[in-house]
Chains A and B, each alone.
Chain A
Amino acid sequence: MALVEIDGLRKLYGDVVALSDISITVPSGSFYTLLGPSGCGKTTLLRTIAGFHNQNAGQIRVDGTSIEGLPAYRRDVGMVFQDYAIFPHLSVYDNVAFGLKQRKVPSAEIKSRVGEVLEVVQLGAFEQRMPHELSGGQQQRVGLARAIVIKPKVLLMDEPLSNLDARLRVDLRAELRRIQQDLGITTIYVTHDQEEALAMSDTVCVMYGGVIQQAASPLDIYLRPANRFVATFVGANNFLGVDQNGADLTLRASGADLSDLLSSAQRPVAITSAIRPEAMHVQAGEAAASADRVAIPASIKEVSFIGREMEVFAITKSGEILKSVDRPDPAIIGLTPGSPVTLTAPRNEIIFFEDSETGERLT
């Protein structure tokens, strides 16, 4: 258990900036997830913490002490690899015992600790198996056992579930979280799967282009995305153009007046509004706006019924494509492309961003 502080971290590969000015704090014992699209620098950050390469600038402190000068093999930071990295020439027991032997732990203690940790990951009966006799999920458990048996100060996991099939992924997700909470071990977890991130983490840290976009609780990330990128990447979002005319702020697609939602002092030159698909309700034909709902006339592009819910894509008069996720409605599912519909959404669920890729949230 340890507090991890990263301060002004910078990492270049040649002239490619992989990490620029990363500063985060991982509270002791928490589950901290780095979430972002492929290539955003998650692995680089994790490997820098593990000591596999040196940063160009910045500091990493564990419990207040800089680990700058420590080589990777003395950092006491456990790592679970994406491809498991189970030593194929060693049995499950010897894989798990590897780190303990390096630490010159007495052999009786090694035996009991390996036995215990294999129970924790539910591999008690597999001690003498060779890695090629294990399934992917079991290998991943060995990888986890091998990393936690040394009781590292920090546990790092780089997309540990990404090579497993969907159902196993969900099962193992819960198990990982349980083990982490039981041990109270400070964990930095990397994933590009937003669902995984939201379901497991105490804190989700969204990265993009080597820069931290937002670090907050899963709920905050979802409800109060810090910028347009986070709003798009975590959950889906509909972005709707707005027009500014003096003090007026209107929704381009319907002409609805939104001036009261964003004070004129908060308005930059280019603004966009966003509404979550699950906040959008679809009605056939025309419908009027109400005091607390905006109404956007549109025509059906595509309706897909996916069981629990239906997804409706509609085109507004101004040509924007909107997505709605709603309870299945036979009247809507039967509509053919081109049919007129109205999408309505609560006014208080409309949020505003500066109109650029990572434009800040304005409300």
Chain B
Amino acid sequence: MMKRRPDFWTVVTVLIIVTLVVLLIVPILRVLLLSFVDADTGAWTFGNYVEVFTRNYYLTGFKNTLFVGLLGTLGACLLGIPLAFFTARFHLRGRAWISTLAILVLVAPPFIGAYAWIMILGSNGVVTNFFEGFGIEIPTIYGAHGIILVFTLKLFPFVFLMTQTALNAVNKSFEDAAENLGCTPWQRFTKITLPLVFPAISTGAIICFVLAIADFGTPAILGRGFRTLSTIAFAAYRSELGGLPTMAVTVSMIMMAISMLALFAQRRILSRRRYASSLTNLPVKQKLTGWRNVAVHGFCHGVVLLAMLPTLVVVYTSFLKTNGPVFVGGFGLESYSRILRDTPEAIGNSFLFALAAVVLITAFSSLISYVIVRRDTAASGAIDFLMMVPYLVPGVVMAIGFVTTFRSGSFFGLGTATMLVLLYFIRRLPYGVRSTTSSLRQVKPSMEEAAINLGAPPLTAFLKVTIPLIMPGLIVGSLMSFITAINELSGTLIIYDAGTLTMPVKIYLAVLDGEFGLAAALSTVLLLCTGVCVYAVFRFADNRDSAFL
């Protein structure tokens, strides 16, 4: 090849790589290295890992994590798969309503579910008290079963939406052929349809599992002595404050390893099952009658309503009259006025940090998606791969990595607010990139070439032609990253200080203090802006269901 001065996109590629190295690879490597350091002597050691796998405290946490992770995923599949099948194959009243509720469940802040269930089934919960009135002692929400319940109801939309999308894309001819060859409807479902949508189901399940493993808010709020790796890591981090957080990072690394192993296992299984088919014959929806119809409607609406219940309870609670932390009966706006009195800055900070992160995400995801889609180099392949990493790295790991790498005074010394913005940026960047990338794949490369051919330098061609054409994808991606950034809790909890309190952190602290009214009011504010974003996504996305995955 003849030498030329580096072109615009080469410069951009280098810029992206540098950013990802500094904000993603270096912090993760710091955490990884730290897990091999002895906290007291600073020498290299495997001792931390030995400790995790020999001490009961950690081993129990390890088993607990797998237990609630696996059962939560199983529960999500048990709700999500039938729901997907029913909505995709039968005539249902309120189908759009069901998927809208499922999407709302999916995007609602994860920790809201946990504490709303306390208000329903906790020691002083509505249902608990109701049964107590009859002298019946019902099990409370605290412990493994509560966590599994919350995971199940929180995570099933992933399985549901992925499976539904896949079911809608199964060529009906396959099912017709099976029937023609003598399969009963049940055989047809288990032998043809289910295997065809298995890749989608397993992808949904893996997302559930990874999120369940990394989730901090739910076990922290509902655990009561039932510890998972994420709460152990957080507690270790808190107790090691001042020293080296070696145990915290070791535990975090193990969480991450579990997620990665699960993902690679799934990829291996899937690599042997790739089915391409053209959608020449659209699936049709059957009409049910009699008790089957009632049962299917009951199941579908029941599941989404049950999953929405915590959100409704939160909104309801926020309008209850309170006096300090105590509900005094009747309705009132005291909880909201308390936000304004106690922590107006939490709202401001949340918006400021999330918006700042989203501005960065929007700019970077448009550039990154161009490099991934249009440039066929090793670097663009590497960037594509790196975009999967933030999904797999628990917030605790990223945050500890950030603190150890960018703590003020260190080489990269950054302020807390900047660190939070960059944390949200790197953790939520993949949401923007994914949406923008799929949008750009539908734009023919000849569009940009035509612009360049007419005399536009690469940057001008990108701004005047590419950006307008991928605008819907860019907007959807930015909204998705905004929703997920403003709801971030686990990483923020590690990094925040008195001046950088955010809404999720304040909610978490209020719940721990038993300030349910205040928590509910803040959660409602958070839900409201999440809801507005969801509505905007509906307006801009081609396919509203898959935009959220």
Contacts and interface: CB of A to CB of B under 8 A. Distances in A.
Contacts of A87: 447, 450-451, 465, 469
Contacts of B456: 73, 98, 102
- The 5 tightest CB contacts between A and B, nearest first, are A99-B454, A102-B455, A85-B446, A85-B450, A79-B453
A72 B458 CA distance: 9
Interface in A71-105: 71-74, 76-79, 81-83, 85-89, 98-99, 102-103
B233 to A, nearest CB: 46
B458 A85 contact: no
B469 A89 contact: yes
Given A68-B2, A150-B455, A81 B469 contact: no
B1 interface: yes
Main secondary structure of the interface of A (DSSP, over half): loop
B447 A50 contact: no
Contacts of B468: 89
Given A50-B453, A73-B453, A88-B469, A102 B460 contact: yes
Nearest to A77: B453
Contact of B447 (A56, A77, A85, A146): A85
- Counting chain A residues whose Cβ lies within 8 A of the other chain, the interface size class is 20 to 34
B449 A99 contact: no
B137 interface: no
B446 A99 contact: no
B87 to A, nearest CB: 33
Nearest to A146: B454
A103 B7 contact: no
Contacts of A98: 451, 454, 456, 464
A147 B454 CA distance: 7
Contacts of B461: 73
B457 interface: yes
Contacts of B452: 52, 72-73
A68 B4 CA distance: 9
B455 A73 contact: yes
Main secondary structure of the interface of B (DSSP, over half): helix
Interface string B440-476: 0000101101111111111011001100110000000
Interface string B325-356: 00000000000000000000000000000000
A74 B4 CA distance: 14
Contacts of A143: 450
A81 B4 CA distance: 26
21 contacts: A54-B1, A55-B2, A56-B1, A69-B4, A73-B452, A73-B458, A79-B450, A81-B446, A81-B449, A83-B446, A85-B444, A87-B447, A88-B469, A89-B465, A98-B451, A98-B464, A102-B454, A102-B460, A143-B450, A147-B453, A150-B455
A85 to B, nearest CB: 4
Nearest to B449: A52
Interface of A: 50, 52, 54-56, 68-69, 71-74, 76-79, 81-83, 85-89, 98-99, 102-103, 143, 146-147, 150
A83 B444 contact: yes
Interface residues of B, number: 23
Nearest to A97: B454
Nearest to B457: A73
Of listed B4, B447, B452, residue having the most chain A CB within 10 A = B452
Interface string B107-127: 000000000000000000000
A54 B460 contact: no
Contacts of B1: 54, 56
Nearest to B2: A54
B469 A99 contact: no
Given A68-B2, A102-B460, 9 more contacts: A71-B4, A73-B452, A74-B455, A81-B446, A85-B446, A86-B450, A87-B465, A98-B456, A143-B450
A131 B450 CA distance: 15
A68 B449 CA distance: 18
A45 to B, nearest CB: 15
A69 B3 CA distance: 9
Contacts of A99: 454-455
B447 A54 contact: no
A143 B2 CA distance: 32
B382 to A, nearest CB: 19
A54 B4 contact: yes
Of listed A50, A55, A77, A85, residue having the most chain B CB within 10 A = A85
A56 B2 CA distance: 7
A43 to B, nearest CB: 11
Contacts of B447: 85, 87
A52 B453 CA distance: 9
